[in-house]
Amino acid sequence: MRQVLEGLAGVSDVKVSYKQNKARLAYDPVRIAPRQIIDAIARTGKFSARI
């Protein structure tokens, strides 16, 4: 998951806790929209996301 998020342009400071089933990150809204982040997570087929 961390690799997926870190690979997105505009996403930084990614922290993933598999134990808590959570991820936190910073993003630049000029470069990427929240929907794009959620879609990238959903495409893994292993996780879901919400804001």
What pLDDT, on the 0 to 100 scale, is given for residue 39? 94
User: Any idea what the Cα angle at residue 3 is, between residues 20 and 45, rounded to 5°?
Assistant: 70
Ordered by start, the domain boundaries in the chain are 2-43
What pLDDT, on the 0 to 100 scale, is given for residue 38? 94
Q: Which fold has domain 2-43?
A: Alpha-Beta Plaits (3.30.70)
Asked if residue 2 lies in contact with residue 38, where contact means CB atoms within 8 angstroms, the answer is no
pTM across the whole model = 0.85
Asked if residue 20 lies in contact with residue 1, where contact means CB atoms within 8 angstroms, the answer is no
Instruction: Give kind and range of the element (H or E) at residue 13.
Output: strand 11-17
What pLDDT, on the 0 to 100 scale, is given for residue 50? 81
The CA distance from 20 to 43, in Å, is 21
Q: What is the pLDDT of residues 1-51, one digit of tens each?
A: 899 999 999 999 999 998 998 999 999 999 999 999 999 999 988 888 887
What pLDDT, on the 0 to 100 scale, is given for residue 45? 86
